[in-house]
Structure 1
Amino acid sequence: MAERPSRALVLYGDGLARFVNPSNTHFHSLASKASCGFLSLPNAPPSESEDERIVREFAVLVDAFEAHTNTSGSTTKEDSGEETNISKRFMGMKAALVTNNASLKSFGTKLGFSVLPNDGFSKSSEPQGELSVDYMASELLKLLGFQEGKTLESSQYDLVFVHVGAGEVNVKNDKAIADDVEYPNALFGAIMNIAKPGTEISLRLHLSAVMSYGGTSEEDDVNFSFSVSKDSNNSKLSKLVPHQSYTMKGELPRKDVRHHSPMLLAQWQHAVTRKDMVETFAFKDIKEHGGNLVIPADRFLHEVAFKLWKAPKYGA
């Protein structure tokens, strides 16, 4: 545990996990230094549009699924702000959401996020796009009170959540979605260079990379399954296998858990997070060597808030 509260930057690659490749060296460098694992999601409802999926999965990630599903228009604790406002839920935490998605902007505002446009990402295809990466990294860190290598006593925000959706960076050709990974990869490189070990920033910045698979298929069920199968040939033995913790909420089993295509997670803070044996930001490596195993996606923000001294510890 750090001696002072951290300030958190979360980069969320929405639908980009399947496009991370060996050339994305900064993602892999982060994973090799970080504590990695999976965030499990519920199954998608039938006939869900892409825009609906984007908002629903973000809602799960920030533990605000009830606010997302409450569309009746009635005034309840969930939609009155008493239970969904992020500042009230997490001890006055000041949070910003950086996104270009219109639906997510509206939902983030409802939850009490300060919503900021993701202008920096749109510059990545310009001839001097690499400079815009450095500029964006610097601007994001300024929001958290990190400036010119120093940590200011106060900051505009405790948490900055950057949403990068598939197709937002480059929509000119068939490689658009794969190309979208290049900019956040470079952004991580720029941020980690500014916050390298030995700097003031490295001791206070809690950095998270979250990458989801977006819309899934039956093929994903096979290729990205992370559940521990029970021995179907021995019914007596199968009863001895305990429920995995990500399938439980308190003492009760969760009713809807997707056992494949989780969000990939890497978290790093110098001298705070524990390094595991993961070397690449990839499903197989995280499954075999990740230190965090699997937690429900709706517990993610609670874990981050704990590092900010804004929530009690979740789990062990």
Structure 2
Amino acid sequence: MADKPSRGLVFYGDGLARSLNPAHTHLHSLAAQSLCGFLSLPHLPPTENADGRTIGEFLNLVDAFDDFPALNQNKFITPSISERFTGVKAALVTENKSLKSCGDKPGLSVLDSNELINNDRSLADLPVNLVAIKLLNLLGFQEDKVLDTNQFDLVFVHIGAHEQDSFNKHTEYINSLVGEIISKAKPKSQIGSRLHLSVVLSYGEVSKDDESNFTILNKNGVMQSAFNSLYPRQSYMMKGSNPRSNVRDYCPMLFTQWQDAVTRKDTVKTFSFQDFKENGGNLTIPADRFLHEVAFKLWKAPKYGA
């Protein structure tokens, strides 16, 4: 743990995991110095459009998925993030209209790219150096200093588009943003010691082929015998002492977490499904536990799993 509360920045790459390639050097470099693993998702109910899947995944990240079925009925019952995590001030930067319309329900302040930089261009068309500075400013990081006051403790940045030809563009943008942020949060610097950076990439729409290509099950370790019922379940399949009834065991979210001298460094070399599966030390946790892990680093929650 750091000797002072951290401030969290989360890049959520909506459906961009498939677009990763060797040219995304900043993402690979981040993974090579980070804690890496998977966030398991439930099977999402059918939705009318791709935005429904985006909303479902995001509500998982902020542990509010129980409200997903009744979202359009204005019956949101999950307490706000501030209520659940000791007054944490959280924001969401997104240009997705559907996500904007529901982002405030879990208690996030919803910001548009125009509120970062006074410009009519979309986020992925804005200069990455200016966007990186503005995001750090929201968290109370200015130049190389950590201010005593900050507008937000935690900022989510949603980047993604449902058009196939935009995936590479948005993945490259996250790659560049990560490079800018890391360059400003140098090891042993004030910012580096207080910034907790997470990158979460999802697979988006899934197909039948994905069930075998991106499975998180250890099929080689499954016991085919009368003792199957005694084989222990992995923790991501449980909620408390009860088995989860809805677990998708393929196409999890890929995630890394990095904070200088705070997070563990795994033996991962690349930001990829196979490398995370073979070398990621965090293995798999449910997506709805992600926010609890981050809040702990912000000194806003007791240690999840302790």
TM-score class normalised by the smaller sequence: over 0.9
1:196-207 map, 5 Å: 196-207=186-197
How many percent of aligned residue pairs carry the same amino acid?
Answer: 55
1:214 to 198, 204, 212: 204
- The answer for the alignment partner of 1:260 in structure 2 is 250
- The answer for the alignment partner of 2:87 in structure 1 is 92
- The answer for the alignment partner of 1:135 in structure 2 is 130
Counterpart of 2:167 in structure 1: which amino acid? I
Counterpart of 2:137 in structure 1: which amino acid? K
Q: Do structure 1's residue 28 and structure 2's residue 18 form an aligned pair?
A: no
* Partners of 1:73 and 1:163 in 2: CA distance: 24
Question: Residues 147-176 of structure 1: CA distance to partner in whole angstroms, max 9, x if unpaired?
Answer: 011000111000000000225xxx7xx632
Q: Do structure 1's residue 144 and structure 2's residue 133 form an aligned pair?
A: no
- The answer for the alignment partner of 1:179 in structure 2 is 169
Aligned residue pair count? 301
Q: Is the 8 A contact 1:141 1:147 kept in 2?
A: yes
Structure 2 gaps, min length 5: none
- The answer for the alignment partner of 2:273 in structure 1 is 283
1:155 to 147, 150, 161: 150
* Partners of 1:93 and 1:234 in 2: CA distance: 47
Residue 71 to residue 189, structure 1, CA distance change in 2 (3 Å):
closer
Residue 155 to residue 71, structure 1, CA distance change in 2 (3 Å):
closer
State the secondary structure of the residue aligned to 1:203: helix
Structure 1 gaps, min length 5: none
**What is the CA distance between 1:71 and its match in structure 2?**
4.3
State the secondary structure of the residue aligned to 1:275: coil
Q: Is the 8 A contact 2:94 2:157 kept in 1?
A: yes
Counterpart of 2:91 in structure 1: which amino acid? A
1:227-306 map, 5 Å: 227-229=217-219, 234-306=224-296
**What is the CA distance between 1:188 and its match in structure 2?**
0.3
Q: Is the 8 A contact 1:146 1:152 kept in 2?
A: yes
- TM-score when scaled to structure 2? 0.93
For the aligned residue pairs, the C-alpha RMSD in angstroms reads: 1.9
**What is the CA distance between 1:74 and its match in structure 2?**
7.4
Question: Residues 217-273 of structure 1: CA distance to partner in whole angstroms, max 9, x if unpaired?
Answer: 011111100112377773224334211100000000000000000000100000100
* Partners of 1:240 and 1:251 in 2: CA distance: 15
State the secondary structure of the residue aligned to 2:219: coil
**What is the CA distance between 1:22 and its match in structure 2?**
0.5
